[in-house]
Each structure stands twice: as structure tokens, then as C-alpha cells.
Structure 1
Amino acid sequence: MENYKEKVNTLLLVCTLVATVTFAASSTVPEGYNSSNIDLGIATMLRNKGFHMFVFCDSIAMYSSIIAAVALIWAQLGDLTLVIVALKLAMPLLGVALSMMSMAFMAGLFLTASKLPWLSTVVLEMGITFLAMLSAILIPLCIPYTPSNRIYRYISYYPFYLVILATGS
């Protein structure tokens, strides 16, 4: 039970940090707000598709992390069955929250660099590359158990191994 308690506390901390960051990002949107009398307080990039992506990804990250945090708070009650169910629910939601937070960051950076097409393209290419790497690492973690199927083990092992090789660790 002690092992589960540490896992729950660590995941709860990560969920709380993701919720905090996504909340801050929603308050400080890319390119800021209009200050004219007509559109006072409206985001300046409201009609931009990149801004729509930022808002969707930030919202999904926020809500996923909040649901995961609430599930993990329930896991604090000490019932082993409840802890296992909460972990099975929270891990995939936290994976979604981390992925969406990364995509929101990419969309916000893309918006701020949109005046230079080459820079915004580089931002998108880097973001897509790192999201693929993040997915390769997160997908095996979000699946609650590792089946004895040999093919699945190879599929989940080699992307993680390639990411480690690519980073030079």
C-alpha cells in the first residue's frame, strides 16, 4: 500500500502542476487582449485557427488534469481497490493532459512567430517531432498493465529505447 501511496502523491503533484500551468496559459493568451472600447478584453487572435487550437488544447489539458486530480484525491482514502481504479483512470488522463499542454504550447509559440513563416514552420516541425517522442514514452505508461504478448512488448520497448538513444542519455 505504501508503494501506491507514493505513486498517487507523485501523480497528484503532476496533475496539480499541469492544471496550474494551463490555467495560467488561459489567462495570458498569445498576443494578448484588445484594449479598444469596442472589443475590450477580447483576445486579439480570436479569429485565428492557431488560436482555436491553443484554446482547445489548453481546455482539454486543464479538464483532464482536474479529473485526474480528483480521482487521485479519492485514492487518498486508503482503500486498495479504490487506489487501483483511480490510478487506471488518472494515468491515461494525465497522459492526455501532458500531450494537450504540449500542443497548446506549440500553438501559442506558432502564433507568436507567425509573422516569420520559416520560424513558424520550424516551431511546428519541432513540436510534432517532440509530440511523437512524448507519445512513444507516454502510451506504454498509460496502459495499466503489460500483457505477456511479445509483439506488444517490442512495440512499447523500442520507441522508448530510440528516444533514449536520440537524447544521448
Structure 2
Amino acid sequence: MEHPNRLRPQSINACTKSVNTFLLVSTLVATVTFAAAFTVPGGYNSSGTDSGIATMLRDKGFHIFVFCDSIAMYSSIIAAVALIWAQLGDLTLLRDALNLAVPLLGVALFMMSMTFTAGLFLAVSKLQWLSTAVLVMGITFLTMLSVILIPLCTPVTPSNRIYRYISYYVVYLVILATGN
């Protein structure tokens, strides 16, 4: 007799495609954040007692860069490991792995975007108007990204009428803004 939580071959193929896509994205986020950790803005001190230490170590923007990069890295690794477990074919394991991985992947994408904004801000911080423009663009993008990711990553059901109206108009505005 077949285990009740085992998937049929047809549904395994459909779920495997989704899991593989999420796994690819989480692996790419882990790769990018890993590279960002070792190519920090401003580079490293090359001489003296601080040799090998980041030049912007004491800058608050650098602290934001490091925290966001670390959170993105660890979130994407946990998501990748959960998605590897999801490929075992057990329906309960698949559902639990996706419930864990999708929100973590959303956090990783958001934090990776914050890492980029913080790194770019640090790189142009000597020019006031440019650093302000980078910050405004970053905050605008991160706001739009959170509007898109929060409903995807939270287990909130749209049974609340107010939530439905708010999400409808937010999605409608995003569609209008993109011209699609």
C-alpha cells in the first residue's frame, strides 16, 4: 500500500519544477551575497596594523551593508536546504518546506536589495546629491518590493474586506506604473 503523503508521479513533476525554480533563485542569492561579503564597498586596508580590515568598518552605512548581506545569505541558505528536502516526494514535507522557504526567500531578496542600496550609497557618499538620489531610488524600490513580497510571504488570507481592497489597489497601481 502506498503512503498517503506520497505524491503521484504527475504531481511530483509539477511540484519539482516549482521547487527547482525556488532552489535556483535561493542559490543565486546565496552566491551573490557571498561575493558581496568579500568585495565590500571601499575595499580593504592594505598596510599597517589594520591590514586586511575593511576601510569603511566604522561607517554606519557599512554596518547596514554587513547586516543585510548576512541576513540575505543565511536566509537563502536555509531556503535552499529546505527546498532540497522538498524534493523527497513526501507531500507533507513538500508543503512544510515551501511554507518555510518562500518567506525566507522573500526576506533574502529584500535584504539583498537593501545590501545593494547600502553599498551603492557608501560608494557615492562623498557626493551629496548622488547619494541622496541613490537613497531615494532605493527606498522607493524597497517599498514597491515589500508591497509585492509581503502578500506572497505571509499566510494572511484575503477574507478581510479591507485587506482585499488595499491589496487590489496596490496591485492595480503597480500594474499602472509598469505600463502593463
The answer to whether TM tops 0.5 is yes
Q: Give yes or no for the alignment of 1:48 onto 2:59.
A: yes
Judged with a 3 Å threshold, the aligned counterparts in structure 2 of structure 1 residues 145 and 73 are, in CA distance, closer, same or farther, namely farther
Instruction: Indicate the residue corresponding to 1:110 in structure 2.
Output: 121
Which runs of at least 4 in structure 1 moved beyond 4 Å after TM superposition? Answer: none
Instruction: Indicate the residue corresponding to 1:98 in structure 2.
Output: 109
**Partner of residue 125 from structure 1, selected from 125, 136, 150:** 136
TM-score norm. by structure 1 comes to 0.95
Query: How far apart are 1:139 and its partner, in Å?
Result: 1.0
Q: Give yes or no for the alignment of 1:17 onto 2:28.
A: yes
State the alpha-carbon separation in 2 of the partners of residues 166 and 23 from structure 1.
Answer: 33
Instruction: Indicate the residue corresponding to 2:70 in structure 1.
Output: 59
Moved more, 1-10 or 26-35: 1-10
Query: How far apart are 1:166 and its partner, in Å?
Result: 1.0
**Alpha-carbon displacement from aligned partner over 1:125-156 (angstroms, at most 9, x marks no partner):** 10000000001111111124644333322222
Q: Give yes or no for the alignment of 1:162 onto 2:173.
A: yes
The gaps in structure 1 that reach 5 residues or longer are none
State the alpha-carbon separation in 2 of the partners of residues 147 and 6 from structure 1.
Answer: 27
Instruction: Indicate the residue corresponding to 2:4 in structure 1.
Output: none
**Alpha-carbon displacement from aligned partner over 1:62-108 (angstroms, at most 9, x marks no partner):** 00000011111100101011111111111110110000000000000
Assess if the C-alpha contact under 8 Å between 1:146 and 1:153 holds in 2.
no
**Partner of residue 70 from structure 1, selected from 81, 84, 101:** 81
Aligned residues: 169
TM-score norm. by structure 2 comes to 0.89
What's the % identity of the aligned pairs? 78
Code of the residue aligned with 1:100 in structure 2: it is M
State the alpha-carbon separation in 2 of the partners of residues 28 and 121 from structure 1.
Answer: 23
Instruction: Indicate the residue corresponding to 2:41 in structure 1.
Output: 30
Q: CA RMSD in A?
A: 1.3
State the alpha-carbon separation in 1 of the partners of residues 174 and 51 from structure 2.
Answer: 46
Give 1 or 2 for the bigger CA radius of gyration.
2
